[in-house]
Every structure is written in structure tokens, then in C-alpha cells.
Amino acid sequence: MYQDLSITWGDGRGQVLNNGQLITLSLDKTSGSGFQSNNQFLYGSFDMQIKLVPGNSAGTVTAYYLKSEGSTWDEIDMEFLGNSSGEPYVLHTNIFSQGKGNREQQFYLWFDPRADFHTYSVLWNPSHIVISVDGTPIREYKNLEGAGVPYPKTQAMRLYGTLWDAEDWATRGGLVKTDWSKAPFTASFRNFNYSACVWSNGGSSCPSSSSGAGSSWYNEKLSTAGQSRMKWVQQNYMIYNYCNDPKRFPQGLPLECTLSSKSS
């Protein structure tokens, strides 16, 4: 991981261990910690195995995301919202394009993410963004730019991992606070694998042809089996979907919601 990722903040609370095979991030009342990728990417497929904060993790947020720089940034976001012992983690996802988000979907997981490492993946290509857990797609954000929906495609993004305190909102809307007597809280990351177009000095490592890098991920679509598994997750484990929250959008649901419902 030394080659691909660097600890960037936390004053020693982030550590690279096991000859570069493991990163641990810790949080105490003074500070959290984080790392970022050494490279920036414009499209790619990214896998990370994560083991979340065990025990009473209420108030903590473990985040794993891609983000560009600037005030009109793009972002593909996974945040794991901690909870009291015995209560489920919430996986909070969001997609930002040109600085605008408000595209939240939240899920419970079908396993205990504190007990062992699990693989969390992002596929980002010109056609769509797919977020997967242990190879099972849970969310797809299609490129509907032709219909007027912004899509992340021009800004290179860096990959980040962070652990931080958000007790004012993370657990039951802030009702459950962080129990600092349990600190330090620690999340672990390993087996970062990616196949991507690296962006450097204003250019991409991928050919400019429509076939991208000649890699399967660049043109990958959701298979029929993948669509079926995603539907199963969304029917059984999705607990919030912005497209099903008309009260939040008095001027009408976002355009991608109505377009996606017509195409599904």
C-alpha cells in the first residue's frame, strides 16, 4: 500500500502495518485520521477490504470515497455510520457532480461488518457508477447527461479513507453520542486493488479511443444477474432513497429519479 496510498492526517493515528499490507485509522477525542491515493484517476474500478470499528461505534464515521478538488467537485461517497453495540451499521452513499449532491441512498448490510474484512467496490466508467459490496451491486448511477443530468466525467478524483467523529448527526440523527471511554476507535483497510486511468500532468494513462484502456471495466455494464442482485439488496436492505422522498424536493424529484423509474 506504500506505493498507492499515503497517510495524510491524524498525527500518528493512521498507520501502515504488516510491511505495507494493512492500514489502520484511529479516532480519539482529539482527532481522527485519514489517507489518500498518491494518484488521481479519471475512471476506474476500485476495490478495498475494510473491517469497521468494532463494539460501540456510535457517532463514528468510516469513509471510503473518490473526490475531485475545487468548489464544483465530483464525488463518489461511501460512509459507514457507526451504531451502538448490537445495532446495525448504516452504509450511506452519495454521488456529487459539479458540486451538487443530495443523492443519498442508505443501506443496512446483510452481515456484521465489524467481525471481518469485506470488499467494498466502486466501478466508474463513462456509462455508469456502480457501488458493490462483496461483489454484489447495491447502487447504480447511470450517465444520463444526454437528458440533462450532470455526470462525473471531466474531473480527476483521488481516493480517500477517513475515520472521524460525527456524533452530532451520524447515529440516529445525533441522538446517540460517541462514548469516548471506548476510544481509541480503529478501522482497518487492506488489499487495495484498482484498474484505472491515471491522470497526470493534464493527461490520462488510457488511450483516447472509445475503448478506453482496452480493459473490461471501461465498458462494463450490469449483467442481468447483477441487476437482479441489486434489486434484491434494494428491496431488502435499502432504508433510504432520495428518489422516494418527494417532501424533500417540493419542486419535483431530481430528473434522474424520473428517468431511472421509466427505464427500470
- Active-site choice (75, 140, 167, 256): 75
Q: Nearest-CA neighbor of 190 among 38, 15, 30, 29?
A: 15
Is 75 a catalytic site residue?
Answer: yes
What one-character DSSP code corresponds to residue 172? G
CA 46 to chain centre: 10
CB 197 within 8 A of CB 44: yes
- Active-site choice (79, 140, 167, 256): 79
Measured between its terminal Cα atoms, the distance across the chain in Å is 39
Is 79 a catalytic site residue?
Answer: yes
Give the CA-trace dihedral at 236, 238, 244, 248, to 10 degrees: 150
CB 50 within 8 A of CB 65: no
Q: Where are the alpha helices (DSSP H) in the chain?
A: 224-236, 255-263
What one-character DSSP code corresponds to residue 229? H
Residues with Cβ within 8 Å of 44's Cβ and at least 6 positions away in sequence, in order, are 122, 124, 194, 195, 196, 197, 217
Q: Which residues make beta-bridge pairs with 186?
A: 26
Catalytic positions are: 75, 79
